[in-house]
Structure 1
Amino acid sequence: MPAVITLDGPAGVGKTTLARRLAAALGVAFLDTGAMYRAVAMSLGENGWELPEAEIAERLSRLCFSLHGSGEETALAMDGFALGDELRSEEVGRWASLVARLPVVRQCLVTAQRQMGSAKSLVAEGRDMGSVVFTQAACKFFLDARPEVRALRRYHQLLSLGQTPQPLEELVEALRIRDEQDRTRPISPLKPAEDAIIVDTSDLDVEEVFAQLQAQAAACLRR
């Protein structure tokens, strides 16, 4: 049976980087669910979350997500087109957070995520992977860090992507707003699963966090 490992946590905590590395170490696929919500937000367009529910449902019914490869070579595609760094702007991230509040969007994407998880072993990162989507996952992690730390990491990530980031203080405020949206939404709010392993990454570097995740995941898979 396919095995699923989940990494949840707030924006800017390093989930994508760590989940991709963990998937590579375990030789399984990497599922970036945040990219799925960002892709849906882009496909709906600015203020797409204000469209009539019936129109959103009709548009989503035409979307098809697929997952190919494993580890660092995993490719997530929507309608046959690979999803890339064009989704990583702060604006699209804000749209995605608002779109994710809609029941019709969450229902569609949760179904797609579960279908991919039933087809192959994977490491899934997002906001509610362990608490809602993959409640029977072999191993669940919840990563967290102080907003100021996450904002600085996000600043350097945007620079590495060739983008011009907002001033650091604006990124901190944007993360606080995003956190509030994610933690207070009525459907699938951001919170650790009851059986999740919680890791505060504020004062740890990537290698230290990865070592913890790899050791814990290996132990879970041996059970």
Structure 2
Amino acid sequence: MKKITIAVDGYSSTGKSTIAKQLAKALEYVYVDTGAMYRAVTLFAMQGGFIDADTFKVQAFLKVLPTIRLKFVYNEALGFAEMHLNGKNVEKEIRTMEVSRLVSKIAAISEVRQLLVAQQQKMGKDKGIVMDGRDIGTVVFPDAELKLFMTASPEKRATRRYKELLERGDKVQYEEVLKNVQERDHIDSTRKDSPLTKATDAIVFDNSDMGLDEQFDRVYDYAKRIIKKVTDDH
């Protein structure tokens, strides 16, 4: 069977990573979480004192941007790859609310997007990849054979994220998480460089009231049909 490129875009906390991981595992494809890449760059900026809630030293940050090395390292025990920043596993650190509050500001910087998009395109040059993010179907892989656009109400997404953070042991308030979801929606959708928009040929997936099994079954069926069509056409 021919391999295809699968692009999964959508709003924060819509379960993009969950469905992308499931698809990649079922199809034996490579999974790439581009959100982890932007989060790792954000963590780097925070640790270097370039950004906090009140300030962002953009020009100083851009000078050190070329020193950032990102790598996905497969963790056999977990069954997926973890993000390493300059040789260190930062998978846990990049999932905090502190990083969530600032990641959209980092992702809005054109130089950051250019650097990461180039890396992402290189990762997917041989197809057989499932990549999730905000601009995969519109910018990174506009020719992807399957494009999904995930959405759900802000309240549903905030509830999911809130439970996830509590399970990790983070002390957060639901209202804080909801505000963060809404702010990220606004920044992601209105930024000048590669704003979050649905590709014209993407399949919209509103999973507000959909269970994980139903969601996966439907998406997997889409993928199998497209793979069969691409294979038959060749």
Give the TM-score normalised by structure 2. Answer: 0.86
Q: Deviation of residue 154 (structure 1)?
A: 0.5
List runs of 5+ in structure 2 lacking aligned partners. Answer: 230-234
Counterpart amino acid of 2:67? R
Instruction: Select which of 166, 174, 178 maps to 2:180.
Output: 174
Q: Which amino acid in 1 is paired with 2:159?
A: L
- Give deviations 1:87-127, integer Å, cap 9, x for gaps: 11122012111011111111111111111112562210111
Residue aligning to 2:36: 35
Match of 1:113 in 2: 120
Q: 1:79 to 1:118 in 2, by over 3 A?
A: farther
**Any residues of structure 2 matched to 1:8-157 within 5 Å, and which?**
8-45=9-46, 47-48=50-51, 50-53=56-59, 55-69=60-74, 72-119=79-126, 121-157=128-164
RMSD (CA atoms): 2.1
User: Within the alignment, does 1:196 sit opposite 2:202 as a pair?
Assistant: yes
Q: What's the counterpart of residue 223 of structure 2?
A: 217
Query: How far apart in 2 are the matches of 1:146 and 1:103?
Result: 28
Distance, in Å, in 2 between the alignment partners of 1:170 and 1:217 is 36
Decide whether aligned partners of structure 1 residues 104 and 2 sit closer, same or farther in structure 2, where only a CA change above 3 A counts.
Answer: farther
Q: Which residue is equivalent to 2:232?
A: none
Partner of residue 190, structure 2 = 184
User: 8 Å contact 1:56–1:104 — kept in the other structure?
Assistant: no
Aligned residue-pair number:
221
Distance 1:158 1:135, change over 3 A: same
Superposition deviation, residue 210 in structure 1: 1.1
CA offset digits 1:161-204 (Å, max 9, x no partner): 222222x2232222111111111111111111111010000110
Asked if the contact 1:128–1:189 (Cα under 8 Å) also holds between the matched residues in 2, the reply is yes
Helix, strand or coil for the counterpart of 2:32? strand
| Matches of 1:213 and 1:97, distance apart in 2 | 27
Measured in 2, the distance between the counterparts of 1:219 and 1:42 equals 39
Structure-2 change in CA distance of 1:102 and 1:195 (3 Å): same
* CA distance 1:41–1:202, change in 2 (3 Å): same
State the Cα deviation string for residues 25-66 of structure 1 (Å, max 9, x = none).
11111101111001001101155382243x433322122333
Are residues 1:163 and 2:164 paired? no
Structure 1 Cα separation of the partners of residues 127 and 145 of structure 2: 13
The answer to whether the 8 A contact 1:101-1:187 is kept is yes
Q: Which amino acid aligns with 2:69?
A: C
Note if contact 1:2-1:117 (Cα within 8 Å) is conserved in structure 2. Answer: no
Native 8 Å contact 1:149 1:202 kept in 2 = yes
SS of the equivalent of 1:150 reads helix
Higher radius of gyration, 1 or 2: 2
Structure 2 Cα separation of the partners of residues 132 and 89 of structure 1: 27
The answer (yes or no) to whether the contact 1:29–1:74 under 8 Å persists in 2 is: no
CA-CA distance at 1:68 after TM superposition: 4.7
Q: Distance in 2 between matches of 1:154 and 1:18?
A: 15
Percent identity over the alignment? 37
Distance 1:134 1:2 in 2: 14
